[in-house]
């Protein structure tokens, strides 16, 4: 039975204060559980977590930590990041090095705990996903995911890791395709623009 009283607004609008349903809704929100798929207030986009509309495909996805953050802040979340990268690279892993992911994980965690730039997961597989910690700005921790060509996998893992960082309260920003591209490629038999030759190649 619904008890008369003051209407409660928000996600449970129309529920009357003093009823068991309203009390249950308030307790639910205190525990951080959402109703109707709503995001908890502390995880909603805003000045703390700016909104970036991701592209459909990207060649690289960059995560830049807040200047007040350091590599050491990644210690708790890095095993999960490393696990995702290893799973996406599983089709390209050679049987001759099955222990390499575990070795790289230990090395990276050792560097992060010492607040040093880790080596990441920088393998030379032709189609594999790479996790790079660049030497761009020593005052700001940064890392990015990259593949040789634009693809959905780069956007997917970048957004997944960004969500993981938000849940841990690690402020950061996300950018895409910040890597410098190589020289433009021409069509087969035709030199690329700016090559200074207007003749067809003999090969």
**What is the pLDDT of the chain when averaged over all its residues?**
73
Tell me, yes or no, whether 84 and 31 share the same domain. no
Identify whether 137 is part of a domain.
yes
User: 69 with 129, same domain?
Assistant: yes
pLDDT at 40: 57
C-alpha to C-alpha distance for 89 and 60, rounded to whole angstroms: 16
Is residue 197, in this structure, part of any structural domain at all?
A: no
In which domain, by residue range, is 120 found?
Answer: 58-176
Check whether residue 103 and residue 20 sit in a common domain. no
Same domain, 64 and 162: yes
Q: Which residue has the higher pLDDT, 20 or 84?
A: 84
State whether 99 and 156 are in the same domain.
yes
- Give the pLDDT confidence of 83-132 residue by residue, as tens digits: 999 999 888 766 566 678 899 999 999 999 999 999 999 877 778 899 99
Lowest mean pLDDT across 15-19, 66-70, 119-123, 138-142: 15-19
Q: Do 64 and 141 fall into the same domain?
A: yes
Residue 2 has pLDDT above 90, yes or no: no
Mark whether 119 and 21 lie in a shared domain.
no
In a domain, 66, yes or no: yes
pLDDT for 139 equals 74
Q: Which band of pLDDT confidence, cut at 50, 70 and 90, is reported for residue 140?
A: confident
pLDDT of residue 138: 67
Print burial letters for 77-93: b (CB count within 10 Å at least 16), e (below 16): bbeebbebbbebbeeee
- Indicate whether 125 and 85 sit together in one domain: yes
């Amino acid at each position: 039975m619904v008890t008369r009283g003051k209407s409660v607004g928000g996600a449970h609008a129309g529920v009357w204060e003093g009823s068991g349903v309203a009390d249950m809704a308030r307790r639910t929100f205190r525990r951080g559980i959402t109703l109707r798929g709503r995001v908890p207030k502390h995880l909603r986009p805003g000045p703390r977590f700016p909104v970036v509309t991701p592209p459909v495909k990207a060649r690289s996805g960059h995560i830049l930590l807040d200047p007040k953050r350091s590599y050491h802040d990644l210690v708790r979340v890095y095993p999960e990041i490393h696990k995702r990268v290893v799973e996406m690279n599983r089709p390209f892993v050679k049987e001759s090095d099955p222990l390499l992911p575990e070795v790289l994980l230990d090395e990276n965690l050792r560097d992060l705990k010492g607040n040093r730039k880790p080596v990441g997961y920088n393998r030379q597989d032709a189609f594999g996903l790479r996790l790079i910690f660049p030497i761009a700005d020593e005052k700001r921790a940064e890392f990015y995911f990259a593949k040789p060509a634009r693809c959905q996998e780069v956007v997917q893992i970048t957004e997944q890791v960004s969500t993981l960082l938000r849940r841990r309260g690690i402020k950061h920003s996300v950018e895409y395709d910040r890597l410098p591209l190589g020289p433009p490629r021409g069509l087969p038999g035709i030199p690329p623009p700016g090559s200074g030759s207007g003749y067809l190649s003999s090969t």
